[in-house]
C-alpha cells in the first residue's frame, strides 16, 4: 500500500515561520526531502530515524534535476513511507509544487499541500517594506524572473512588483520597466536571504539598482514600487539588538533550544556546536538503591536539570511519585533546575542567590547540619566542593551518579563548516562545554581557533575554566542563567556599537 506525500512550505528562511501543521508532519515523517532554501534548522523536528535527503535546489548553482526529485517522491511513497517534501517559501508560489503534485496524481500517490509563508511577502516585511499600503499601493504582482524574457508591464499593472529568482536578470528587469513607462526614479530594493540574520538589503531606483546590488547573489527578492520608501521608517528586523550576529551555542542538542530561541528573538543566528552529550550512568543500581531508602535522607540537593530529570524518571520506575519526597528539604542550584522540578508539580524549598555550588552552601549556612543526611544525584564528574563542605559540618552525604557527560562525535568536516565564517561570539554555559570544545580541536588551541571571537561565559566557575584553556573571557553574565547570559551579550554589543 502506498504511503503519502506532503508538500510542505518551509517559509522563507526564519525557522519560526514554519506552520504548526508543517512541523507536525515533519515530526511524523519517515522520509524528508528538503531544498536548499528550506532552513536546515527545521530538520531538528524530524524523528531521529527519519531519512533525510537533500534535493540540492539552489538558484544559480548545481541542482538535482526536477524529474529525479519527482521520481524520488514517488519511489519513497511506494515503499509505504510518509514523505515530507520540504520546499522553501510556499509550494505553489514558484515552488514547482504544482508539477510535483500532478506527477503524484498520475502515479496514484496520495498527497496533501501544506502552504507556507512565501518569501515574496515575508522578505519585504522583514526589510520593513509592506507590499501593499493604503494610498500607496493597492495591488501587488508576483513575477518569476529566472529566464531572459523581459517583464510585460501591461500585464502586471502599476502596483508593487515582486520578482523571484531575478538576481541574474536585474539589469534587464530594470531597463525593461523603464522602457515600458515606469519612472527611472521609482524606488526599488533587492533583499538577499530575507528573514534570516544574514539578511542584506540594497535600496535604490530603477535607474541604479542593478549597479548598487551587483554584489548580491541568490537567493534574492526584488521589490519595485513606492512602498520601498517606507523601509526607512519600518525597518524593524535589522534594528534588533543582535541582528546579524552569529553566536555559537555549545550546550547539548536537547538543551540548546532555549538559548537558540532567545538569541533568535533578538535577531541573532544561533550556531549549534554541541560539545556535550548526556548519557545514562554505567549502572542505575546506586541511584535506585538511594531512591529505595529515601526515608533515610533529610535533604535532596540537585545541581542540574539533567539530574532532576533522571532522578524523577527512576523514581517513577521504582513505582514511587512526588508523595515519597514528603519530608525532604529540596534545594536546586538555580531557576532552570527548580523549573524542572515544577514540571512534575514539585516545589523546591530553596534556590540560592548565587547559582553555583558556593551559593548552595551559603543558603545552608544558618542550619545545623550535624547528623543530617544529604542525597546529591549529579553528573559522574563534578566539583566536590559541596559534599566536602557538608561533611566538614557533620552531615552524611551520599553522592550518586545520575548521568554522564561525554564529548559527542561530530561528522567529519562539520565542525569546520559550522565555524566558517568565524562567529561573532561563542557561549560557554558550563566548564564542561569549554573543556569539551578544546577536545574537539586536538591539533589547535582554542585561542587559535577563536581568535577575534567574543567569548561569553555564564559565570565565574566557567570563566576560570575558560581562562585556564588560554582564552580571554570577554563578557561574563551578571546572573548565571541563560537569560542573564543573553542580557550580557546584548549589553556588550550595544556598548560596542554592534
Torsion over CA of 464, 467, 468 and 471, rounded to 10 degrees? 150
Name the residue among 170, 247, 284, 253 with its Cα closest to residue 425: 247
> Which one is predicted more confidently, 40 or 140?
140
C-alpha cell at 270: 544561533
Cis peptide upstream of residue 421 (ω within 30 degrees of 0): yes
To the nearest whole percent, how much of the chain has pLDDT over 70?
98
pLDDT recorded at residue 142: 94
Helices (H), 140-213: 153-156, 170-179, 209-212
The β-bridge relationship of strands 187-192 and 200-205 is: antiparallel
Cis peptide upstream of residue 197 (ω within 30 degrees of 0): no
Name the residue among 133, 180, 140, 182 with its Cα closest to residue 159: 140
Residue 322's pLDDT band, with cuts at 50, 70 and 90, is confident
**What's the pLDDT tens digit per position in 330-364?**
999 989 899 999 999 999 999 998 888 888 898 99
C-alpha cell at 361: 552552601
CA gap 93, 143 in Å, rounded: 10
- Are 163 and 171 in contact, with CB atoms under 8 Å apart? no
Q: Is 14 a catalytic residue?
A: no
Q: Is 57 a catalytic residue?
A: yes
Residue 202 neighbours by CB distance under 10 Å: 18
CA gap 172, 161 in Å, rounded: 15
C-alpha cell at 353: 542567590
Residue 26 has pLDDT above 70, yes or no: yes
Average pLDDT over residues 393-415: 89
**What's the pLDDT tens digit per position in 299-321?**
999 989 999 999 999 999 999 98
Residue 6's pLDDT band, with cuts at 50, 70 and 90, is very high
Residue 78 neighbours by CB distance under 10 Å: 14
Among 57, 81, 87, 245, which one carries the catalytic annotation? 57
Strands (E), 275-352: 277-279, 299-302, 329-332
C-alpha cell at 239: 534594528
pTM of the predicted model, to two decimals? 0.82
pLDDT recorded at residue 475: 96
Domains annotated on the chain, with CATH? 4-116 (3.40.1010.10), 121-238 (3.30.950.10), 246-276+409-495 (3.40.50.10090), 279-405 (3.40.50.10090)
- Are 145 and 177 in contact, with CB atoms under 8 Å apart? no
Burial class (CB in 10 A: 0-12, 13-18, 19+), 402: buried
pLDDT recorded at residue 359: 86
Residue 62 has pLDDT above 70, yes or no: no
Residue for grid cell 529566464 = 147
Burial class (CB in 10 A: 0-12, 13-18, 19+), 150: middle
Residue 57 has pLDDT above 70, yes or no: no
CA gap 381, 377 in Å, rounded: 11
pLDDT recorded at residue 259: 93
CA gap 464, 489 in Å, rounded: 19
Average pLDDT over residues 115-120: 97
- Are 339 and 348 in contact, with CB atoms under 8 Å apart? no
CA gap 400, 397 in Å, rounded: 10
CA gap 243, 497 in Å, rounded: 12
DSSP one-letter code for 58 = -
Among 14, 30, 35, 90, which one carries the catalytic annotation? 35
DSSP one-letter code for 423 = P
- Secondary structure of residue 482 in the 3-state scheme: helix
**Range scoring the smallest mean pLDDT among 49-53, 249-253, 423-427:** 249-253
CA 390 to chain centre: 40
pLDDT recorded at residue 405: 86
Residue 254's pLDDT band, with cuts at 50, 70 and 90, is confident
Average pLDDT over residues 457-478: 94
Measured CA to CA in angstroms, residue 440 lies from 102, 231, 276 at distances of 48, 44, 11
Average pLDDT over residues 26-32: 97
C-alpha cell at 110: 496520495
> Which one is predicted more confidently, 449 or 154?
449
CA gap 473, 456 in Å, rounded: 6
pLDDT recorded at residue 374: 95
Q: What is the mean pLDDT of the chain?
A: 92
Amino acid at each position: 500500500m502506498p504511503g503519502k506525500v506532503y508538500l510542505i512550505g518551509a517559509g522563507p528562511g526564519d525557522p519560526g515561520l514554519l506552520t504548526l501543521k508543517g512541523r507536525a508532519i515533519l515530526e511524523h515523517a519517515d522520509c524528508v526531502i528538503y531544498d536548499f532554501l528550506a532552513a536546515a534548522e527545521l530538520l531538528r523536528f524530524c524523528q531521529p530515524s527519519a531519512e533525510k535527503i537533500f534535493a540540492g535546489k539552489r538558484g544559480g548553482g548545481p541542482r538535482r534535476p526536477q524529474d529525479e526529485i519527482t521520481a524520488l517522491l514517488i519511489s519513497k511513497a511506494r515503499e509505504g513511507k510518509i514523505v515530507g517534501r520540504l520546499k522553501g517559501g510556499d509550494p505553489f508560489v514558484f515552488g514547482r509544487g504544482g508539477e510535483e503534485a500532478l506527477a503524484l496524481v498520475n502515479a496514484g500517490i496520495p498527497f496533501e499541500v501544506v502552504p507556507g509563508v512565501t518569501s515574496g511577502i515575508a522578505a519585504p516585511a522583514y526589510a520593513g517594506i509592506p507590499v501593499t499600503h493604503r494610498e500607496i499601493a493597492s495591488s501587488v504582482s508576483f513575477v518569476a524572473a529566472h529566464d531572459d524574457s523581459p517583464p510585460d508591464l501591461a500585464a502586471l499593472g502599476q502596483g508593487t512588483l515582486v520578482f523571484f529568482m531575478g538576481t541574474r536578470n536585474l539589469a534587464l528587469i530594470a531597463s525593461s520597466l523603464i522602457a515600458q513607462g515606469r519612472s527611472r526614479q521609482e524606488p526599488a530594493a533587492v533583499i538577499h536571504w530575507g528573514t534570516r540574520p544574514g539578511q542584506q538589503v540594497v535600496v535604490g531606483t530603477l535607474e541604479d539598482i542593478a549597479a548598487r546590488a551587483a554584489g548580491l547573489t541568490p537567493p534574492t527578492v526584488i521589490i519595485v514600487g513606492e512602498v520601498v520608501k517606507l523601509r526607512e521608517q519600518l525597518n524593524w528586523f535589522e534594528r534588533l539588538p543582535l541582528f546579524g550576529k552569529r553566536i555559537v551555542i555549545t550546550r547539548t542538542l536537547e538543551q540548546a533550544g532555549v538559548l537558540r530561541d532567545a538569541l533568535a528573538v533578538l535577531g541573532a543566528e544561533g550556531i549549534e556546536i554541541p560539545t556535550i552529550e548526556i548519557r545514562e550512568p554505567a549502572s542505575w543500581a546506586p541511584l535506585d538503591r538511594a531512591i529505595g531508602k529515601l526515608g533515610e535522607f533529610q535533604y535532596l540537593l540537585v545541581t542540574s536539570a539533567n539530574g532532576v530529570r533522571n532522578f524523577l524518571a527512576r523514581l517513577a520506575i521504582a513505582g514511587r511519585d512526588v508523595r515519597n519526597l514528603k519530608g525532604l528539604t529540596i534545594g536546586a542550584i538555580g531557576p532552570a533546575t527548580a523549573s524542572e522540578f515544577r514540571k512534575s508539580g514539585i516545589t523546591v524549598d530553596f534556590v540560592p542567590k548565587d547559582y553555583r555550588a558556593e551559593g548552595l552552601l551559603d543558603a545552608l549556612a544558618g542550619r545545623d547540619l550535624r547528623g543530617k543526611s544529604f542525597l546529591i544525584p549529579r553528573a559522574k564528574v563534578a566539583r566536590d566542593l559541596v559534599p566536602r563542605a557538608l561533611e566538614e559540618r557533620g552531615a552524611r552525604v551520599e553522592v550518586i551518579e545520575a548521568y554522564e557527560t561525554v564529548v559527542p562525535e561530530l561528522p567529519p568536516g562539520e565542525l569546520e563548516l559550522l565555524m566558517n565564517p568565524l562567529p561573532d561570539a561563542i557561549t560557554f554555559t558550563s566548564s564542561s562545554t569549554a573543556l569539551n570544545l578544546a577536545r574537539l580541536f586536538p591539533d589547535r588551541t582554542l585561542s587559535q581557533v577563536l581568535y577575534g571571537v567574543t567569548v561569553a561565559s555564564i559565570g565565574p566557575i566557567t570563566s576560570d575554566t575558560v581562562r585556564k584553556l588560554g582564552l580571554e573571557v570577554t563578557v561574563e553574565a551578571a546572573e548565571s542563567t541563560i537569560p542573564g547570559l543573553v542580557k550580557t551579550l546584548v549589553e556588550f554589543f550595544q556598548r560596542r556599537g554592534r
